[in-house]
């Protein structure tokens, strides 16, 4: 479980996050949604400590992460898996070496065990036999999938995904969503996903937080999101679904 | 940011670099790679420049000492001492600041702006140590070697040029480079090359590590890395000369 209390963050006097508090549940896929530029990435980076919040605190399983020393943070972070919005693969390493990196750095597995684990993760993201390609030789979506494989290789306790399926075709996007939900349940992880893909929300949004104007505007489940009357939320949700409705309308 | 803030942040970064490695084997692997990228890949440019500089120093010395009162061995002696004292350490360091410094700053800067450094931090890896330490160690190991190589090739270049232009005979040159030889000059040069290696790698890494923005800023960091390492090298050259030769 991750708890966020009163997080505030400004850049050059401009408030990006304004007193955001919430709880991300263990064993569930927690979604942060909001328009582009609403502060989802900034919130996620404050949660993992890549950005220092101006105020507020973040707790991992009751421990205050914000107040921890560098070494304690390092220990908790070894239980993190994170997918960056731009994939952030190490470009001097091949796909296989990227995925294997954590295993090399933090485990005493044999080479054979490592290879099996890497192949298993690559298979789960449909990247089998791409082991020896370098990031510069991958398409945008393939990079993202390789980065997902790297994020899940250690069975992290906490998984953070910044736009896991932007830039992917709808079929792969659904596959990635399912994969994240499956491993979240399988390993009882606390998973936080940033997205503005309403299909993901409706597929895996067990808990959804809507960020608007730097505030937590709304919080609920995917079932509640369609019923709610909140106008900003409706604008966000139905902007995308309007196209579908139009399509239906044309079909009639 | 003013100079003091830069120095403070640089010092903190260097302290972070020397934190205990998570796993020595991974750092060692990285070190091998850096020895290739920073060391072996610099042999060519050091060799070429040393050869030509040795040649030019010899010819210039010859034309400046045409007076028959000067002994003929003076040419070899002067070429040797300029190469040992200044050229093989300081000038080679300035050349390396250009080649290696920009390479380091742009590599680390790109890793920074594409969030690869953040990715390391999130994994619980000391990103500064893992990326920068192998670079510093690699160049410190390799710099004395490059320096000796530069001495040999420089003196060789002087001989080839001097003899083929006809300003000095082989016998005079060989006598000159042995005349009143002070072995400490080599030690002095090697000490300087090691310290310069540290300056080049750490200052350039500093500029790379604190890049923020995009491709434009990476280019800017790379330029700053070269300029600042060169200035710091010149400054330390002055200090070290005073300390080691007085
Ligand atoms: N390092 C930074 N310096 C200054 N401003 C920043 C920085 N990072 C983010 N911002 C600002 O914070 C706001 C929120 O950015 P953020 O990246 O969190 O948006 P987002 O919700 O993730 O958008 P998207 O869906 O497009 O990824 C933006 O207005 C952005 O300009
Ligand atoms: Mg974002």
Residue A181 in domain? no
CB A196 within 8 A of CB A36: yes
Which residues of chain A lie closer than 8 angstroms to B125, CB-CB? 105
Does ligand 1 have an atom closer than 6 angstroms to the CB of A16?
yes
**Is pLDDT of A244 > 60?**
no
Q: What's the confidence (pLDDT) of residue A28?
A: 93
Q: Which two tokens stand for residue B45?
A: 């440019």
Contact between B119 and A90 using a beta-carbon 8 Å cutoff: yes
pLDDT, chain B, mean: 94
* Chain B neighbors of A89, CB-CB under 8 A: 116
Question: Which of A8, A32, A33, A40 gets mutated to test ligand 1 (max ligand atoms within 8 A of its CB)?
Answer: A40
Residue B246: the pLDDT is 80
Under 8 Å between Cβ of B35 and B138: yes
Cα nearest neighbour of A49 on chain B: B122
Q: Does the residue A247 lie in any domain?
A: yes
Using a 6 Å cutoff on CB, does residue A214 contact ligand 1? no
Other beta carbons within 10 Å of B64: 12
CB A127 within 8 A of CB A146: yes
Does A73 lie in the same domain as A7? yes
Element (H, E) at A2: strand A2-11
Verify whether the Cβ–Cβ distance A84 to B124 is below 8 Å: no
Q: Which two tokens stand for residue A43?
A: 């919130």
Whole-number pLDDT of residue A71: 87
Within a domain: residue A63?
yes
Judge contact between A138 and A87, C-beta under 8 A.
no
- Please identify every residue whose CB atom is under 5 Å from ligand 2, which is an ion: A 41
- What is the model's pLDDT at position B73? 86
Interval B207-213 mean pLDDT: 96
- CA–CA distance, B143 with B133 (Å, rounded to integer): 15
Q: Which residues of B touch A106 (CB under 8 A)?
A: 22-23, 123-124
CA-nearest of A14, A15, A17, A16 to A6 is: A17
Alpha carbon distance B196, B150 (integer Å):
15
Determine the Cα–Cα distance for residues B126 and A89; give it in Å rounded to an integer.
Answer: 17
Substitution candidate for ligand 1 out of A18, A31, A34, A38 with most atoms within 8 A of CB: A38
CA of A237 to the centre of ligand 1 (A): 21
Query: E strand or H helix at A149, and its extent?
Result: helix A140-152
Banded pLDDT at B68 (limits 50, 70, 90): confident
User: What was the pLDDT predicted at A241?
Assistant: 67
* A50 close to ligand 1 (CB < 6 Angstrom): no
What pLDDT does B35 receive?
Answer: 96
* B45 inside 8 A of chain A by CB: no
Question: Which residue, among A59, A58, A33, has the nearest Cα to A209 in the 3D structure?
Answer: A33
A97 falls within a domain = yes
Fill in the DSSP letter of residue A22.
E
Residue A114 is part of which domain span?
Answer: 86-155
Residues A61 and A100 in one domain: no
pLDDT of the residue at B148: 95
pLDDT given for residue A180 in this prediction: 92
Residue A250 has pLDDT above 70, yes or no: no
The Cα B108–Cα B222 span in angstroms is 10
Q: Is residue A59 part of a domain?
A: yes
What DSSP designation does B221 have? H
- Say whether both A18 and A110 belong to one domain: no
Inter-chain touch A80–B123, beta carbons under 8 Å: yes
Q: How far out from the chain centre does Cα B199 lie?
A: 9
Co-location of A1 and A67 in the same domain: yes
Average pLDDT taken over every residue of chain A: 90
Give A-chain residues touching B124 at CB under 8 angstroms.
74-78, 80, 106
Residues B166-188 as b or e (16 or more Cβ within 10 Å = b): ebbeeebbeebbeeeeeeebbeb
A208-211's contacts with Cβ under 8 Å and 24+ in sequence apart are A208/A30, A208/A31, A208/A33, A209/A22, A209/A30, A209/A31, A209/A32, A209/A33, A210/A33, A210/A34, A210/A236, A211/A20, A211/A32, A211/A33, A211/A34, A211/A38, A211/A39, A211/A40, A211/A43
Question: What integer pLDDT is reported at residue B71 of this predicted model?
Answer: 85
Q: What is the pLDDT of residues A85-136, one digit of tens each?
A: 989 999 999 999 999 999 999 999 999 999 999 999 999 888 989 999 999 9
| Beta strand ranges found along chain B (DSSP E) | none
- Residue A232 included in any domain: yes
Q: What residues pair up with A210 in beta bridges, in sequence order?
A: A33, A218
Q: CA nearest A153 in B: which residue?
A: B123
> Ligand 1 atom 4: the closest Cα is on which residue?
A11
Judge whether B166 is closer than 8 Å to chain A, CB to CB.
Answer: no
Which CATH number characterizes residue A165's domain? 3.40.50.300
| pLDDT attached to residue A185 | 93
**Domain match, A149 and A52 both:** no
- Mean pLDDT confidence for A187-213: 92
Q: What is the pLDDT of residues B158-204, one digit of tens each?
A: 999 999 998 888 999 999 999 988 999 999 999 999 999 999 999 99
pLDDT at position A26 is 94
| Greater pLDDT, B46 or A245 | B46
Give the Å distances, CA to CA, from B54 to B43, B134, B237. 16, 32, 20
* Number of compact structural domains in chain A: 2
Out of A131, A155, A179, a domain closes at A155
> What is the sign of the dihedral through the CA atoms of B34, B37, B38 and B43?
positive
Q: What is the pLDDT of residue A242?
A: 65
- Nearest CB to B122 within list A48, A91, A104: A48
Residue A2 lies in a domain: yes
How far is the centre of ligand 1, averaged over its atoms, from the C-alpha of A247 (Å)?
Answer: 33
User: A96 lies in a domain?
Assistant: yes
Nearest-neighbour CA in chain A from B23: distance (Å): 6
């Amino acid at each position: 479980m991750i708890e966020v209390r009163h997080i505030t963050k400004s850049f050059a006097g401009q408030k990006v996050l304004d007193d955001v508090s919430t709880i991300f549940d263990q064993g569930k896929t927690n979604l942060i949604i909001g328009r582009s530029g609403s502060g989802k990435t900034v919130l996620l980076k404050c949660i993992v400590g890549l950005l220092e919040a101006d105020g507020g605190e973040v707790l991992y399983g009751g421990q205050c992460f914000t107040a921890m020393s560098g070494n304690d943070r390092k220990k908790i972070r070894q239980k993190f898996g994170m997918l960056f919005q731009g994939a952030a693969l190490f470009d001097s390493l091949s796909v296989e070496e990227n995925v294997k990196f954590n295993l090399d750095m933090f485990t005493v597995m044999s080479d054979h065990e490592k290879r099996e684990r890497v192949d298993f993760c690559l298979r789960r993201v449909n990247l089998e036999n791409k082991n020896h390609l370098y990031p510069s030789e991958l398409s945008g979506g393939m990079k993202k999938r390789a980065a997902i494989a790297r994020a899940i290789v250690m069975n992290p306790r906490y998984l953070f995904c910044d736009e896991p399926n932007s830039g992917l075709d709808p079929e792969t996007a659904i596959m990635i969503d399912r994969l994240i939900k499956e491993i979240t349940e399988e390993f009882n992880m606390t998973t936080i996903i940033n997205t503005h893909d309403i299909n993901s929300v409706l597929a895996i949004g067990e808990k959804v937080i809507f960020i608007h104007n730097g505030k937590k505007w709304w919080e609920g489940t995917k079932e509640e999101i369609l019923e709610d009357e909140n106008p900003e939320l409706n604008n966000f949700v139905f902007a995308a679904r309007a196209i579908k409705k139009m399509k239906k309308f044309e079909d009639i | 940011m003013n100079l003091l803030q830069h120095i403070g942040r640089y010092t903190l970064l260097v302290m972070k670099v020397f934190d205990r490695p998570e796993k020595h084997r991974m750092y060692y692997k990285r070190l091998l790679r850096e020895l290739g990228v920073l060391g072996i890949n610099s042999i060519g440019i050091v060799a070429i420049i040393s050869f030509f500089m040795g040649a030019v120093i010899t010819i210039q010395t010859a034309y400046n000492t045409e007076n028959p009162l000067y002994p003929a061995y003076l040419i070899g002696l002067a070429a040797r001492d300029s190469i040992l004292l200044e050229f093989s350490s300081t000038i080679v360091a300035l050349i390396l600041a250009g080649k290696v410094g920009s390479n380091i700053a742009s590599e680390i800067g790109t890793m920074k702006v594409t969030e690869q450094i953040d990715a390391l931090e999130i994994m619980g890896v000391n990103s500064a140590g893992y990326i920068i330490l192998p670079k510093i160690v690699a160049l410190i190991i390799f710099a004395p070697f490059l320096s000796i190589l530069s001495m040999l090739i420089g003196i060789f270049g002087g001989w080839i040029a001097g003899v083929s232009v006809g300003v000095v005979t082989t016998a005079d040159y060989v006598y000159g480079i042995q005349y009143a030889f002070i072995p400490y000059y080599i030690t002095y040069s090697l000490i300087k090359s090691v310290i310069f290696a540290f300056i080049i790698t750490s200052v350039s890494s500093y500029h790379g590590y604190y890049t923020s923005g995009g491709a434009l800023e990476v280019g800017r960091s790379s330029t700053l890395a070269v300029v600042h390492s060169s200035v710091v090298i010149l400054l330390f050259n002055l200090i070290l000369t005073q300390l080691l030769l007085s």
